[in-house]
Chain A
């Protein structure tokens, strides 16, 4: 019997204009969203490619110049322009350390509009001053981008609610419900079946639209089946959660209008209110430590270290005899730089506690906020999507650390050569250290986010069972 009613429902839905409208609407929105994401990712990759090409060109030009200088084809340039001097290479020919986009980066803009995606650390300079902020119109940051993540987090639930808010109430209002329940079927199963059918249709529409949009914009999802499946799974679970909420509200047996209002209230709470409340309270009760105060402490520590530099440097040379200026007959052309590195090491060591304290405070705040994400399925989905797209804050922090680590590698490539008073040779350009970005060590939130969403599913199912048991048929028939 249940089979029959569901089959009838299926035929009914197929002939409904709504399904067609929904399909077209959603497809249009998704294509637009993926196009926006694609544009951002393309810009990002184009800049990185351009930067790498520029670096290659500069390398070749410098190598050629070294060759012609060594063969005395050209007069020697001013010392600070001589490409044979290692310090000039370390300063003028930095490597491009780039954060390549993940295959699914188009899915979510995440934090990618706040930060640059490459850096060129030089032989000298303080890591903390490396700028990572991107130049952008803050109004755009405030409004956010129309990406797939926005479509899924905000708009999808509304589609689900629009598609299901009157599943039971309309039957009741048209009087068909009495007829249906005269059949030997359980209301709970019948309603669940109806919603399951709608869930199935909507999921097919959503998944097809997403995959279609990804395909037409040439995003390799088939080659990244794992990531694509993860994306679909996450979105499907989210859709199912909202269907269950609708199921629960329908079971309360109120009118269509009242269902719509209640469901919108639930949407407002989960998607708008809880995230904004958490975000705001985190700022007030667990404030981000002040950068301005940190800078002051940093400058003070630095000034102190500089004042005592001579004294500290002596101790430092005792500990690192390799840095100490050697009294040799041949003057090392890099002695100024070597002294400078030693001094900056000393200064960096003394200001490190300030930076560490700051980062620790920042971590505490972020960890706290991260834990609170389990309070709303919308935050969980956002977090999961950013994780898949490689645009989460953790990815950017990790990238910054990789840049700082590379800055060190870069400097330490030159230091031993400077001690030997070596010169840059044309063939050395091939063996300069390079960096290849990997996000492998970023701890993934995906599984935790999925679990969180499944927990919300369980809650919704439990809630609907409880409601069903509690008021059985009473409300349903009180028309």
Chain B
């Protein structure tokens, strides 16, 4: 029975011009988005590997230098682009792509694409996620808003009732009637995306499982919207009102809520400005060891302690170069300061994230958006993870430089030069993204919220249709 109703609904929907036009448009948009994203992804990836190669050769071929000068010269860490970013580009446009790694200083990722683009880019890009998360729900509303109101307006609802069809079966039939066309559009996109991704050279990072999970999340999201659409349609007598109400719901959950949550998060847990942040760090640095300034009180204290430890009375008599040692101690100290301040920043970010997680109760769009970005590894958490890995690499690199200087040169000998043997002994920066188990664990709350939306909207729909009046 359910299937029969679903087929009837499907036939009716497909026969309507409105459906055909929108479905074809939607499909064309998705295809275009997929192709355009793919070409973008390929070109960005090519740039990335070229930049990575350049940075490495710059580092290795920097010529003879004092190791500490080499640490100042530094190198770059580049953020890899993951295959799934071609479905959802997430916040990638707004985070920097490269981090300059140098002695004494932790730098922020630089060169976010959005900064070089015009204000137009703030409207959003035609990427698959834009169509899948924004437009498909509109499509669902468009084909489903009059599912019940139409029957009511033409009086067929009473007829159906007299035939003895249970309203729940009727509802399930209508539900499937909307879900099937959506599935019909989503499946080819899924298959195509899988084909694209499988043909990308660095296949290593891509897993079909993640793509399937991603589409699973989208399908749950669509189910929520179908529930809401049918729920509203069963409440109203007139199609017009049902449509306007649904549109309002779409607007609030997809357009307004993200922005309202942002305003709340920003109000409750504001980020420091770049300069404030830098000044707090500078203030802390001033108090502590300064690797370049042997007159600093902290440095003086360390000198006394070290001399005592080695039982000598001047730094010249130490078995290593005091300058190199002091600079490494200073480096450790600044690294701790950066760690502390970045931890504070991270606390703010976690608090902001929690605001979004609680407002997700008011909009199914939010948990879907966050899950989608997380699975595609284009969310802010992935960026943090990358930045932390780069920082660890920086500490290691600078430590190796200072260590070499301490071990192989004498105090006051700034003419000591190391060469490419030392440079190439530093391993290239390799970044392994967090495992999917961790990603899922980090997003449990989003997953639960989305599932709660699914269950509650089903329950609401059930409640509404079983009490539905036929007139």
Contact = CB atoms under 8 A, between A and B. Distances in A.
B98 A292 contact: yes
Interface string B119-152: 1111111110010001100100010001000000
A291 B97 contact: yes
A159 to B, nearest CB: 11
Given A139-B356, A145-B259, A276 B271 contact: no
A137 B380 contact: yes
A260 B110 CA distance: 45
Contact of B274 (A39, A134, A287, A378): A134
Contacts of A278: 120
Contacts of A291: 97-98, 110-111, 116
Given A138-B380, A260-B240, 6 more contacts: A142-B90, A275-B124, A279-B124, A288-B116, A293-B50, A366-B117
A213 interface: no
Contacts of A281: 36, 126
Interface string A264-295: 11001000110111111111100110111101
Nearest to A281: B36
A428 interface: no
Interface string B59-83: 0001000000000000010100000
A264 B247 contact: yes
Contact of A138 (B58, B91, B261): B91
Contact of B263 (A78, A115, A145, A287): A145
B273 interface: yes
Given A137-B352, A261-B243, A143 B259 contact: yes
Contact of B55 (A144, A296, A379): A296
Interface of B is mostly: helix
B239 interface: yes
B422 to A, nearest CB: 18
B22 A150 contact: no
B140 to A, nearest CB: 13
A300 interface: yes
Contacts of B78: 292
A5 interface: no
A337 B271 CA distance: 38
Interface residues on A, range: 35 or more
B43 A287 contact: yes
A368 B142 CA distance: 35
Contacts, number: 214
A331 interface: no
Given A146-B260, A265-B22, A288-B116, A279 B121 contact: yes
A115 B51 contact: no
Contacts of A378: 123
B122 A143 contact: no
Interface residues of B, number: 87
Interface in A93-140: 110-111, 114-116, 118, 131-140
8 contacts: A133-B112, A144-B122, A260-B243, A268-B135, A277-B32, A292-B47, A303-B58, A379-B120
A7 interface: no
Nearest to A141: B94
A288 B256 CA distance: 30
A215 interface: no
B118 A276 contact: no
A51 B259 contact: no
Interface string A150-161: 100011001000
B227 interface: no
Give me the 8 closest cross-chain CB pairs, A-B, nearest first: A275-B123, A138-B94, A138-B91, A292-B51, A291-B111, A143-B258, A146-B259, A280-B126
A146 B413 CA distance: 59
B29 interface: yes
Nearest to B279: A54
Interface of A is mostly: helix
B261 to A, nearest CB: 7
B225 to A, nearest CB: 15
Contacts of A296: 51, 54-55, 58
A384 B240 CA distance: 34
A373 B123 CA distance: 12
B273 A139 contact: no
A141 B259 contact: no
A385 to B, nearest CB: 10
Contacts of B120: 275, 278-279, 282, 369, 372-373, 379, 382
Interface in B253-279: 255-256, 258-263, 265-267, 270-277
Nearest to B109: A133
Nearest to B356: A139
Contacts of A139: 91, 262, 352-353, 356, 379-380
A469 to B, nearest CB: 24
Given A145-B263, A150-B259, A279-B124, A260 B114 contact: no
Contacts of A140: 262, 265-266, 352
Interface in A213-252: none
Contacts of A273: 29, 126
B108 interface: yes
Contacts of B436: none
Given A110-B119, A136-B271, A284 B40 contact: yes
A456 B76 CA distance: 48
Contacts of A303: 58, 62
B82 to A, nearest CB: 16
Interface in A18-71: 32, 36, 39, 43, 47, 51
Given A47-B275, A276-B124, A393 B356 contact: no
B135 A293 contact: no
Contacts of B469: none
B466 interface: no
A293 B265 contact: no
A370 interface: yes
Interface string B372-388: 00000001100100000
Contacts of B251: 155, 158
Nearest to A154: B255
A280 B256 contact: no
